[in-house]
A and B are shown apart, each in its own frame.
Chain A
Amino acid sequence: MSDYAIEAEDLGKRFYLQTRSSKTFPRRVLYWFWPRVDEKPIWALRHVDLAVKRGEALGVIGPNGAGKTTLLQILAGLLAPTEGRVRVHGRITSFMGLGSAVYGDLTVEDNLFLLGTIFGMTRAMIKKKIGEIVEFGDFGKYRYAVFDQLSAGYQMRVIASAALHAPIDILVMDEMISAGDAIISERFAARMIELRRRGTTIVVASHSLNLIGEYCSRVIELDRGRLVNAAKPSTAAKAYLARHGVE
């Protein structure tokens, strides 16, 4: 078994900035003969090499548009790289865009079952844990309510509670779960510490240098799609701030 949970070599990802008309069927047919005539290529990532050891917690920092989310999406197998390759040794769980998995018209319980299976739990596991999940998020009184009727805070409690009970080998996370609620934030922090103690591999992108410093053993910095620095959290944070003119 490899010592590394994730290995990425010479990763590159190209997108095309488009006009609205680029999306039409006739325009796409035109591209077969005259490739991408009116679309500007943009490299979101270029020549990125990365190796994440099993049990390591890697932080990814960088300004907006640096390529953090693109990198995480490629590592999670959500996007195919334009160049290079990725090898993942283990099951990846993604905590990105958590709110996108729910159906607002259905009940909290319906969504818990859906979220649970998406996060990697079987129905039998969810049935066994559902009481625990509901108690963890303290939303028992809303269990059979329509999801959209809950406040934003309670919606995040439901999602975060389901996510934090999932079995996780390798976790890829874009921004820490922001519950806007001190109780869930504290429980989330405790769960993250537990995951680290169990040797779960974590890759997290965040704008919060404090949180990155708290949870991560190593940090990489991206800037305009390139890997510009890899260091311990405190060193990486200082270099990042200095690079962007912040004291």
Chain B
Amino acid sequence: MRLYFDRLFQMARCEWLVREQSNLFGFLWTMLQPLLYFVVLFGLFTKWMGQKTPNYGAFLVIGIVHYNFFQNTTSYVLTTLRRRTTLLTNFPLPRDLFIFSTGLSGLVSHLLELLVMLAFVVFLGTPFHATWFLLPLIVALEIIMVLGIFSPMLAVWGAKFPDFERIWQLLTGLGMFLTPVFYPVSIIAPDKRALLRFNPVAMIIEMSRRILIEGRGLGIRHFAAVFILFCALAAASYAYFKKHEPHLADYVLS
């Protein structure tokens, strides 16, 4: 077990250092994408959304940061087995190390982005609420969602189907419009709002806005139900991954 976690730490560290080019300026480049999204979406929609949504700037940055983590980390995990084909086919390492180390490197960047997001939220005039201390619970849900539910399945599909990367890019691109990243749920027609209930990223974003902007707590029963559901889906996803684990090298070689 000790060796497993040491390997996980080392692989995640190396992935993060390479992605962020081993310095703070590399990380700042990574922040450029959500920042540009913010500037464009804020510029386009503030006049319309700003009327319906108080503190639209904070509202928007929260949506962008959470969706960015989901989109970037799942896309990176999807290609991890093919990117490391030679490592996969030459070293008898636990296969889940590849997906969890990649996911973990994405999580480290996300935690830094969350700090920047909080600073931004404060800068935009949002008062501090005691409910901000609930943010780690939402991050925990996010980790279960991205690393537990999506990553194992996507890693298998990315290994089996080399062009699935393009399909996922398309889906996450469309997904941004099907997730209340830059719009409030209230502008969606009531009969279509139910669809958003099945969007796990939407759940995370709404919970985050609730505690950071509105200062309202998380309903214990609702949070517990979501937590249990996410854990069950993560267990199913991991079981799917374990079923395909012996064949992953064949998938990337074929």
Contacts and interface: CB of A to CB of B under 8 A. Distances in A.
Interface string B213-254: 000000000000000000000000000000000110110011
A182 B66 CA distance: 54
Binding site secondary structure of chain A: mixed
Contacts, number: 89
A16 B90 CA distance: 20
A113 B3 CA distance: 12
B14 A106 contact: yes
Contacts of A96: 90-91
Interface in B151-177: 160-164, 167
Contacts of B7: 117-118
A110 B17 contact: yes
A105 B89 contact: no
Given A28-B160, A94-B92, A106 B17 contact: yes
B119 interface: no
> Which bucket holds chain A's interface residue count?
20 to 34
Interface in B81-107: 86-93
A122 B2 contact: yes
Contacts of A156: none
Binding site secondary structure of chain B: helix
A48 B9 CA distance: 39
Contacts of A105: 17-18, 21-22
Interface residues of B, number: 33
B246 A94 contact: no
Contact of A118 (B2, B93, B249, B254): B93
Contacts of B21: 105
A92 B92 contact: yes
B14 A117 contact: no
Contacts of B92: 76-78, 92-94
A101 B87 contact: yes
B6 interface: yes
Contacts of A28: 160-161
Max chain B CB contacts within 10 Å: which of A76, A78, A106, A114? A78
Contacts of A123: 6, 9-10
Contacts of B138: none
Nearest to B2: A122
Contacts of A122: 2-3, 6
B11 interface: yes
Interface in A105-120: 105-106, 110, 113-114, 117-118, 120
Interface in A100-145: 100-101, 103, 105-106, 110, 113-114, 117-118, 120-123
17 contacts: A15-B254, A24-B161, A25-B163, A73-B89, A77-B92, A78-B89, A79-B89, A80-B246, A94-B91, A98-B90, A105-B22, A110-B17, A113-B10, A118-B87, A118-B93, A120-B3, A122-B6
Given A105-B17, A120-B3, 14 more contacts: A24-B163, A25-B164, A25-B167, A78-B88, A80-B247, A80-B249, A94-B90, A96-B90, A97-B86, A97-B91, A100-B86, A100-B91, A110-B13, A117-B10
